[in-house]
Amino acid sequence: MKIAVLTASNNATGNRTFACRVQELLHDQGHHCYIWCHEDFTTSDELCQLCHQHAVTTIIGIHAYRSGRLLADQATSCRLRWILVLSGTDVSRFNSPIETKTMLLALKRADVRVALHDYMAKAMALRLDLDPNIFTIIRPSIRTHNPPQTTYDWSVITKHPNPTVFLLPAGLRPVKDVLHLGGAMARLHHEQPNVFFIVVGPVLDKAYAADVQSTALEWPNVCVLDAVPQAELHHMMAAATAVVNSSVSEGVCGVLLESMLLGVPVVGRRNAGNSALIQHEVNGLLYDTPTEGIAQCLRLLTDLALRKKLIQQAANDVRMQYSRSSEADGYTSVIKSLDESS
């Protein structure tokens, strides 16, 4: 079968990573899979024409709004089968009347609707007055690069011989609110000069990134780094004291799950997505305010029994709930169901 995955064009986004992984899973199952950018299509007719040229019969559209707009106005003569995948942005950010109307129509027209976590299905069903059971839950699989045996040399960045590093990997855009803990971390530095807060990730919003970079220069222990290859990022994560997520909202945060699998404690700002992944004091720590966030980070330095418990439980949770075989079986099953119903 020939399948096309629709996603964002930016290679640095989590949805693009997800699309590439689904492409690999489908190739392993004997399907031919393209990755196309939903921004490249103005109308559904353009998408249908390209599918006809490549003999594509099935679309996996990531984003109920961005991909879903092409399904919402699809002509009845275009007989594409659609698997529509919810994103975190669909659940938390697309709230205007036109966005809501488009997503509702697309979800009703889709042949299969996929959510990456139970909380996403429930939240979208409640918002759009849908039955949550219309969603198939297929959790994303998590893989990490084995970090080198040598410890990452933070001293090159921090100019400190023995730094304690709290790392925040994220693309620079407003929803990530990467400096939510910045000021509090800077104040902590006056008491503990070895503590550093490092943000690493691609620029996804130029104006926001410029503001972040200029603000960070005012704080002696806050660094903002450009994106690095995933293998190097995992090396950095494995060497950090903890990985932090301070997003205003999240979907299913791959960085948090990767950190858990690498054996690195996670500290997340309390929102629906982070709370779905992190059970406070079970497999990670949650916070609401910057002051509370710093307090949770400091617990990881002083309570070694808690740190060990969080690391062990988090790694077990990811291995059990986010496996490659489960994700592959999920997409194989929904594609098989389309074949049987056609």
Sequence-separated (6 or more) residues with CB below 8 Å from residue 55: 2
Mean pLDDT across the stretch 32-54?
93
pTM of the model: 0.93
What pLDDT is attached to residue 250? 93
Is a pLDDT exceeding 90 seen at residue 8?
no
pLDDT reported for residue 342: 65
Could you tell me the pLDDT band of residue 14, with boundaries at 50, 70 and 90?
confident
* pLDDT of 255 higher than 90: yes
Whether residue 121 is predicted with pLDDT greater than 70 in this model: the reply is: yes
pLDDT tens-digit series, residues 198-247: 999 999 999 999 999 999 999 999 999 999 999 999 999 999 999 999 99
User: Which stretch, 35-49, 135-149, 263-277, has highest mean pLDDT?
Assistant: 263-277
Query: Looking at the predicted structure, is the pLDDT value of residue 334 above 70?
Result: yes
**Average pLDDT of the residues in 264-271:** 98
